């Protein structure tokens, strides 16, 4: 990674930067590139799994049927 001042640096994904640096270090070797592409796919699938689980959790919380209902208790 190049040395840049904070004012010249734009926001970017650290994982994307890692993959770019690996490509620079190892070149465009076909076998390496194949593994790198596959690892990118697996990383995105893992992130998708976490996102899907969080979405499902949030949907369940907002579902009125799944909310706890008050129960009237008779006190003597």
Distance, in Å, from the CA atom of 13 to the CA atom of 44, rounded to the nearest integer, reads: 13
Asked whether residue 37 is domain-assigned, the answer is yes
Asked whether residue 76 is domain-assigned, the answer is no
What is the per-residue pLDDT for 51?
95
Residue of higher predicted confidence among 2 and 40: 40
Q: For residue 68, give the 3-state DSSP assignment.
A: coil
Asked whether residue 8 is domain-assigned, the answer is no
Distance, in Å, from the CA atom of 45 to the CA atom of 64, rounded to the nearest integer, reads: 31
Asked whether residue 54 is domain-assigned, the answer is yes
- Domain of residue 21 covers 14-66
Q: Confirm whether pTM is higher than 0.75.
A: no
Structural domains counted in the chain: 1
- The stretch 4-12 carries a mean pLDDT of 57
Asked whether residue 2 is domain-assigned, the answer is no
Per residue in 19-56, pLDDT tens?
A: 788 878 877 788 888 888 888 889 889 999 999 999 99
Asked whether residue 3 is domain-assigned, the answer is no
């Amino acid at each position: 990674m190049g040395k840049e001042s904070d004012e010249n640096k734009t926001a970017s994904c650290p994982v994307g930067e890692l993959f770019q640096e690996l490509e620079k270090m190892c070149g465009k070797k076909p076998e390496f590139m194949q593994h790198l592409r596959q690892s990118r796919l697996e990383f995105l699938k893992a992130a998708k799994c976490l996102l899907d689980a969080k979405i499902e959790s949030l949907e369940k919380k907002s579902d009125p049927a799944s909310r706890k209902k008050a129960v009237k208790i008779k006190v003597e």
